[in-house]
Structure 1
Amino acid sequence: MCSHYEAPTLEALQETYGVAPGSSYKNDIWPGYSGVFLRAAKETDPHDEAAPAIEALPGRFSLLPSWAKDEKLARSTFNARSETVATKPSFRSAWKNAQHCIIPATAIYEPDWRSGKAVPTRITRHDGKLLSIAGLWECWRSPDGEMVHSYTMLTINADDHPMMQNFHRPGHEKRMVIVLPGPQVSEWLNASADESARYFQQYPAERLTAEPQQPR
């Protein structure tokens, strides 16, 4: 499970994906905070070869389905389990409609309990590049009529992952977000619902770095 991550700068987004949102967003992201996500471009000019195939949008971290009455649901929808995403009411519409997105991150944070206390740990790519986290997006109309985009990170079991098995409370199932290698980013954004499960793979531990942080 991942409830805290570090969003990249606008410059890093532009350098990695060639796009950036038109508005600012927070870099230190928790559920309910405004961040940024990437999706396949909804409107492209077929005659413009330079038109980007993806777009970057501001959105709320924690998915809000169209039927949500208010934003309280966001407290529990920041992650979607790959095993139940197709059937859980909060996510099944976005899944059925293949509303795939990428959540770009400089780092994610997980608690290391091996010492008996939760030690915040910053996890990054070993090569210093951005983490491309697979997710789903939605569009929700708030009670006052505002259209709000939101997104969630997909997770898979990590009980046997050499690094991610070290995080979360003892006795609890170990989970990790789905980090996609560069060539799969465009594939994921354009995949159908039937093709989605093929991307549920653990990111190699040797390509990740974990650094304990001082508790705030």
Structure 2
Amino acid sequence: MCTYYEVPDRDKLALHFGDVPEAEWRDKMSPLYRGPFLRAKGEGRELVVGQWGMIQPNSKTHIPTGKDGKRLSTVNARREGMMKSWTCGGPWRKGQRCIIPAQRYAEPYWGTGKHIAWQFSRADGEPWGLAGLWSEWTDPATGEVLASYTMITQNCDHTPVLNLMHRPDPKRPPNLQDKRTVVPLEKGDWDTWLHGAVELADGLIQLPAIERFQHGPLDPTVEAELPVSL
């Protein structure tokens, strides 16, 4: 599960993702903060701001909660189950796919047997365009319409480096750990992801080559700001 990433600066957003909205957002993103994401608008695209953490249909609050009232984490959507998910199934079937700009993101590295915050950026220096889903929710108390989004994840049990992230499950064999990673999209595929048929979009959910990554321990000054859930 990815629970921290950094938004590119406004100049990079404009260069790679289009017109930048005037709204404010958090540059260092954690769950429930508001951040920019790219979605389809007609035959084009638009960069909008929404809450990182999908809000369920008919929710009484913008904070995702289960039927028992406990807070849920909806910042990530499992590729294998999102089609039938109450929270993500509707947006997936309706084609409400989005692209999340990220200069880098962090995961917990466990290759040495202990948690080390590990950062991933693109080897070419450009920002990531990470695959996601979005929805809109109307606050029943105020009538405010709030956009929200989630980041899609996929299994990476057999991908070097990526399969060293997250605490190993001692109850599972090494080849069935269900390690997760995000879904980077190359620029040439952005329009297909935003506008293409479901089958075409699903085909873009693929594991990236590790050569595309520049990675290593996260700066300790940044690590101090990470959410506890990382």
Indicate the larger mover: 94-103 or 11-20. Answer: 11-20
Alignment of 1:198-209 (within 5 A): 198-209=203-214
Aligned to 2:228: none
Partner residue of 1:38? 38
Letter paired with 2:83:
A
Contact 1:102 1:132 in 2 (8 A): yes
> Structure 1 residue 197: deviation in Å?
1.3
Show the counterpart of 1:59.
Answer: 50
Distance in 2 (CA, whole Å) between partners of 1:198 and 1:20 is 29
CA contact (8 A) 1:66 1:138 kept: no
Q: Cα RMSD (Å) of the superposition?
A: 1.4
2:116 is equivalent to residue 119 of structure 1: yes
Partner of 2:15: 15
C-alpha separation in 2, matches of 1:24 and 1:73:
22
Q: For residues 152-201 of structure 1, what are the alpha-carbon distances to aligned partners after superposition, in whole Å with 9 as ceiling and x for unaligned?
A: 01111000111211100012421111000110011101022233211110
Query: In the alignment, which residue of structure 2 is the partner of 1:94?
Result: 91
Note the alpha carbon deviations across 1:123-148, whole angstroms, 9 max, x for none.
10011101000110000011321100
Which whole-Å CA distance do the structure 1 matches of 2:57 and 2:168 have between them?
36
Counterpart-to-counterpart distance in 2, 1:112 and 1:192: 36
Partner of 1:47: none
Letter in 1 for 2:196: A
Alignment of 1:1-216 (within 5 A): 1-42=1-42, 53-73=44-64, 75-143=72-140, 144-171=142-169, 172-213=177-218, 214=220, 215-216=223-224
8 Å contact from structure 1 (residues 19, 54) kept in 2:
no
**Count of matched residue positions in the alignment of Structure 1 and Structure 2:** 207
Task: Tell me what 2:68 maps to.
Answer: none
CA deviations 1:41-86 (Å, max 9, x no partner) are 24x7xxxxxxxx2100010001113322212317411011111110
TM-score for both structures, normalised by structure 2: 0.86
One-letter code of the match for 2:206? Q
Amino acid at match of 1:58: V
CA distance in 2 between counterparts of 1:189 and 1:85 reads: 17
Hey, what's the Cα distance between the residues in 1 that align with 2:157 and 2:76? 17
2:203 aligned counterpart, secondary structure = helix
Structure 1 distance, partners of 2:60, 2:76, is: 19
The separation in 1 between residues aligned to 2:146 and 2:159, in whole angstroms, is: 35
One-letter amino acid of the structure 2 residue matched with residue 31 of structure 1 = P
Deviation at 1:118, TM superposition (A): 1.2
TM-score, L = length of structure 1: 0.91
> 3-state DSSP class of the match of 1:183?
helix
> Percent of counterpart pairs with the same letter?
33
Q: Which residue of 2 aligns with 1:48?
A: none
